[in-house]
Structure 1
Amino acid sequence: MPIYFRLILLLLLASSASRAVAQSVEFTKDQFSDNKEGLREAMRELKAGDTEYLADPVRYAQALTHYLAAQEFNPNNAALNVKIGDCYLHSATKTAALPFLQKAAKLDATADARTHFLLARALHLSAKWREAMAEYQRYTPMGVNTRNGSDPGITPNDLQRYIQQCRNGQQAMARPARVFIDNAGPELNSADSDYGPVVSADESTILITSRRAGSTGSKKDPEGNGYFEDVYQATWKGKAWSRATNLGAPVNTDEHNATVGLAPDGQRMLVYSNANGGDLLEANLGGSAWSKPKQPGSRINTRSHETSASYSPDERFLYFVSDKAEGSLGGSDIYKVEMDSRTPPVNLGSVINTAYGEEGVFMQPDGKTMFFSSEGHNSMGGYDIFKSVFENGKWSTPENLGWPINTPDDDVFFVTSASGRHGYYSSDRPGGLGAKDIYRITFLGPEKQPLLSEEDQLLASRLAPMKQTVLAPAVAVATAQVTILKGTVTDDATKQPLEATIDLVDNKSGQTIATFRSNSTSGRYLVSLPSGTNYGIVVRQDGYLFHSENFDLPAGAAYAEVVKDIPLKRLEVGTTIVLRNIFFDSGKATLRPESTAELERLQKLLTETPALKLEMAGHTDNVGEDAMNQDLSQRRAQAVVTYLTQHGIAGARLTAAGYGETQPVVPNTTKFGRQLNRRTEFKVTAK
Structure 2
Amino acid sequence: MVRLITLLIGILSWSVVLAQQPAPVLSTKSKKAIELYTVADNFRVRGEYDQAINLLNQALAKDPKFVEAYLRLGLTYFSMKQYQNALRQFEKGLALTDDINRQKAFWYSMGEPYLLTGEYEKAMKVLKSFIDNERTSKQRLDRANMLYKSAEFALESKANPNPYSRKLLSDSVNEFELQYFPVLTADQSQLIFTRRISDNPNDDENLVVSRKSSRGRWLRAESISKNINTPLNEGTCSISADGRKLILTTCTGRDGIGSCDLYESIKVGNDWSEPRNLGRNVNSSAWESQPSLSADGRTLYFVSDRKAGLGLRDIWVSTQDSKGEWTKAVNAGPQINSAYDEISPFIHANNRTLFFATNGRPGFGGYDIFYCDRDSSGWTTPKNLGQPINDNGEQFSLYITADGQKGYYSHEETLGSGHSRSKIYEVLIPPTNQVRFRSNYVKGVIRDKVSRSPLSARIELLNIKTDEVVSLVSSDSVTGEYLIILTQGDEYALYVTKAGYLFKSYNFNYSEITDFEPIAIDIDLEKVMAGSVAVLNNIFFDVDKYELKEKSSPELQKILRFLKENPRVKVEIGGHTDNSGSASYNRELSEKRARSVYDFMVQHGIDKARLFTKGYGPDRPVASNENDAGKQQNRRIEFRILH
- The one of 364, 367, 381 aligned to 1:397: 381
Q: Give deviations 1:98-152, integer Å, cap 9, x for gaps.
A: 4x67888999997898999988766543324345556778999999xxxxxxxxx
Match of 2:425 in 1: 439
Provide the C-alpha distance between the structure 2 equivalents of 1:351 and 1:605, rounded to a whole number of angstroms: 43
| Residues 306, 321 of structure 1: 8 Å contact kept | yes
- The one of 203, 218, 237 aligned to 1:227: 203
Match of 2:314 in 1: 333
Provide the C-alpha distance between the structure 1 equivalents of 2:179 and 2:49, rounded to a whole number of angstroms: 20
Match of 2:617 in 1: 660
- Cα 1:363/1:627, change in 2 over 3 Å: same
Bigger drift between 201-210 and 567-576 goes to 567-576
Match of 2:35 in 1: none
- Cα 1:110/1:193, change in 2 over 3 Å: same
Aligned pairs for 1:314-333 (under 5 A) are 315-326=297-308, 328-333=309-314
1:520 matched to 2:477: yes
State the Cα distance separating 1:663 from its structure 2 match: 2.4
State the Cα distance separating 1:364 from its structure 2 match: 1.4
Q: Give deviations 1:549-603, integer Å, cap 9, x for gaps.
A: 1223327867663332212223444333212122223212223343344334334
Bigger drift between 122-131 and 316-325 goes to 122-131
The 3-state SS of whatever aligns with 1:371 is strand
Aligned pairs for 1:111-130 (under 5 A) are 124-130=115-121
Match of 1:416 in 2: 400
1:579 matched to 2:579: no
Bigger drift between 331-340 and 395-404 goes to 331-340
- The one of 178, 182, 193 aligned to 1:208: 193
The 3-state SS of whatever aligns with 1:435 is strand
1:294 matched to 2:294: no
The 3-state SS of whatever aligns with 1:173 is helix
User: Structure 2-normalised TM-score?
Assistant: 0.77
- 1:435 corresponds to which letter in structure 2? R
- Cα 1:601/1:402, change in 2 over 3 Å: closer
Provide the C-alpha distance between the structure 2 equivalents of 1:206 and 1:271, rounded to a whole number of angstroms: 15
1:189 matched to 2:166: no
**Unaligned 5+ residue runs, structure 2?**
1-38, 55-69, 98-102, 253-257
Match of 1:179 in 2: 164
Provide the C-alpha distance between the structure 2 equivalents of 1:478 and 1:204, rounded to a whole number of angstroms: 21
Provide the C-alpha distance between the structure 2 equivalents of 1:354 and 1:625, rounded to a whole number of angstroms: 67
1:683 matched to 2:636: no
Provide the C-alpha distance between the structure 1 equivalents of 2:634 and 2:92, rounded to a whole number of angstroms: 84
Provide the C-alpha distance between the structure 2 equivalents of 1:209 and 1:530, rounded to a whole number of angstroms: 29
Q: Give deviations 1:392-443, integer Å, cap 9, x for gaps.
A: 4032221101121112222122121111111111112599xx8111111211
Q: Give deviations 1:163-201, integer Å, cap 9, x for gaps.
A: 443332222221111111211222222231100112223
User: Structure 1-normalised TM-score?
Assistant: 0.72
1:537 matched to 2:494: yes
State the Cα distance separating 1:371 from its structure 2 match: 0.9
State the Cα distance separating 1:290 from its structure 2 match: 1.8
Match of 1:380 in 2: 364
State the Cα distance separating 1:230 from its structure 2 match: 1.1
State the Cα distance separating 1:666 from its structure 2 match: 2.1
The 3-state SS of whatever aligns with 1:425 is strand
1:266 matched to 2:243: yes
Provide the C-alpha distance between the structure 2 equivalents of 1:646 and 1:135, rounded to a whole number of angstroms: 76
Bigger drift between 436-445 and 130-139 goes to 130-139
Q: Give deviations 1:348-399, integer Å, cap 9, x for gaps.
A: 3333221211111111122221111111221221111111112240322211
Q: Give deviations 1:217-248, integer Å, cap 9, x for gaps.
A: xxxx8xx2472211112233352223221123
Match of 1:451 in 2: none
- Cα 1:486/1:89, change in 2 over 3 Å: farther
1:243 matched to 2:220: yes
Q: CA RMSD in A?
A: 4.1
The 3-state SS of whatever aligns with 1:428 is strand
1:499 matched to 2:453: no
Provide the C-alpha distance between the structure 2 equivalents of 1:190 and 1:97, rounded to a whole number of angstroms: 27
State the Cα distance separating 1:544 from its structure 2 match: 2.6
- 1:288 corresponds to which letter in structure 2? N
Percent of aligned positions with the same letter in both sequences? Answer: 30
State the Cα distance separating 1:684 from its structure 2 match: 3.4
Provide the C-alpha distance between the structure 2 equivalents of 1:508 and 1:117, rounded to a whole number of angstroms: 54
- Cα 1:559/1:59, change in 2 over 3 Å: farther
Bigger drift between 504-513 and 247-256 goes to 504-513
- Cα 1:597/1:157, change in 2 over 3 Å: closer
- 2:616 corresponds to which letter in structure 1? Y
**Unaligned 5+ residue runs, structure 1?**
1-49, 66-80, 144-153, 214-220, 447-475
Provide the C-alpha distance between the structure 2 equivalents of 1:609 and 1:652, rounded to a whole number of angstroms: 14
State the Cα distance separating 1:681 from its structure 2 match: 1.2
Aligned pairs for 1:588-607 (under 5 A) are 588-607=545-564
Bigger drift between 395-404 and 533-542 goes to 533-542
- 1:363 corresponds to which letter in structure 2? I
